[in-house]
Amino acid sequence: MTASLQVYRSLLSHLYGDTSSGMIKRSVPGQAYGLQYAVDRESHRHLLLPIDEDYAFKPIIGESLNLDERRDDGVRYLDLHCVSDGHRDVFAALADDIIRRLSADVISAPAEIQNALEEWRRLLRPAKEMSPEASRGLFGELVVLGWLARRNPQFAVDIWTGPKGDCHDFTTVNGDLEVKTSSKEGLIVDISSLRQLDVTDGHDLTLIRLNVVDSPDGQSIREKVNELVGLGVPQWPLFRKVRDAGLNVRDSHDSVRYAVSTDVSAWRVTPEFPGLRYGDLPTEWRDAITKVRYTLDLVSAPGRLDDQLDTVLDKVMSD
């Protein structure tokens, strides 16, 4: 149970026993910005922030969540409130996130709340349907994320950089990982960018190939995500990154189940490793060539690391 969810439940229990109050408020501990929890007679949950009289903002009126102005005891508030009891858990998680953001110095507390709200609205917005190829690729990245999470669940999700469009799927000072999935036998992989096989800043780069197939005995992406949460991966950062990758975990009804069917293959990518690289292009060509996609057969590729993959993962996750 989140901290905010506990507070709102406590406030509601006090509200029901106090018929004289239209709203009960409680200050958020340790907050320099005057942030307050509140509940009203309709059992709506509020997060209130005192604002100056001249502070201007655009109200947001939604089906479940509103951001508008409230005046109480002569104080003007920025009032973020949930009008749907069915979304109380999500609102409590949003409140926790806002409180965390405002625990540090920020330029504008009201603006920080609006930024948080916009990020969460994007997070919960229905995603476009993923292609089978993209869905399979996401499952493969989640498999590798699970390996890393067994070493350090918080750090594992922090270094998962593929969803935000970085060159490699996992990025650390001790080496990067690029994950490729295929439903076909053999050692064929599809490379979708000139930068995917670039070694950046002198970091080691390891290419991992997973044979991911449809299987009634496998897992859906939602089930894989739940497994990761069970390993200790923080839920909302994980949901955000899965959403950035193209899937809304809460709203999706992914019926396809996947399994990794054969042994995992891995290679250390060196200058001798086959492939097209951005850094190898003549300088005058680099801005002109914007999209490259090609197929790579790794049967004879040097740098095979299958038996050393655990050692590589340990190094990537080390301090």
Do 143 and 243 share a domain, yes or no? Answer: yes
Do 282 and 142 share a domain, yes or no? Answer: yes
Token pair for 282: 């003549």
Its sign, for the CA torsion 246, 252, 253, 257, is positive
Do 117 and 212 share a domain, yes or no? Answer: no
Banded pLDDT at 86 (limits 50, 70, 90): confident
Do 179 and 101 share a domain, yes or no? Answer: no
Section 148-159 average pLDDT: 97
User: Across 69-78, 196-205, 282-291, which has the greatest mean pLDDT?
Assistant: 69-78
Do 11 and 59 share a domain, yes or no? Answer: yes
Provide the pLDDT for residue 178: 97
Do 200 and 289 share a domain, yes or no? Answer: yes
Do 138 and 158 share a domain, yes or no? Answer: yes
Count of domains forming the chain: 2
Provide the pLDDT for residue 1: 61
What residue numbers bound the domain in which 12 lies?
3-124
Do 195 and 142 share a domain, yes or no? Answer: yes
Q: Which long-range contacts (CB under 8 A, 24 or more apart) does 263-266 make?
A: 263/306, 264/208, 264/209, 264/210, 264/306, 264/309, 265/187, 265/208, 265/209, 265/298, 265/304, 265/306, 266/206, 266/207, 266/208, 266/209, 266/304, 266/305, 266/306, 266/308, 266/309, 266/312
Domain boundary among 124, 158, 185: 124
Section 270-293 average pLDDT: 88
Token pair for 261: 């069917």
Section 90-114 average pLDDT: 89
Provide the pLDDT for residue 62: 83
pLDDT digits (tens, 9 = 90+) for 237-263: 999 899 889 887 766 667 899 999 878
User: What average pLDDT does the chain have?
Assistant: 89
Count of Cβ atoms closer than 10 Å to residue 228 Cβ: 23
Do 104 and 253 share a domain, yes or no? Answer: no
Domain boundary among 77, 93, 124: 124
Banded pLDDT at 125 (limits 50, 70, 90): low
Section 275-284 average pLDDT: 89
Count of Cβ atoms closer than 10 Å to residue 80 Cβ: 24
Do 165 and 223 share a domain, yes or no? Answer: yes
Do 164 and 231 share a domain, yes or no? Answer: yes
pLDDT digits (tens, 9 = 90+) for 58-72: 888 888 889 999 998
Do 227 and 310 share a domain, yes or no? Answer: yes
Q: Rounded distance, CA 184 to CA 136, Å?
A: 12
Domain boundary among 107, 124, 141: 124
Section 146-157 average pLDDT: 97
Angle at 307 between CA 206 and CA 175, to 5 degrees: 25
Is the predicted pLDDT of residue 294 greater than 90, yes or no?
yes
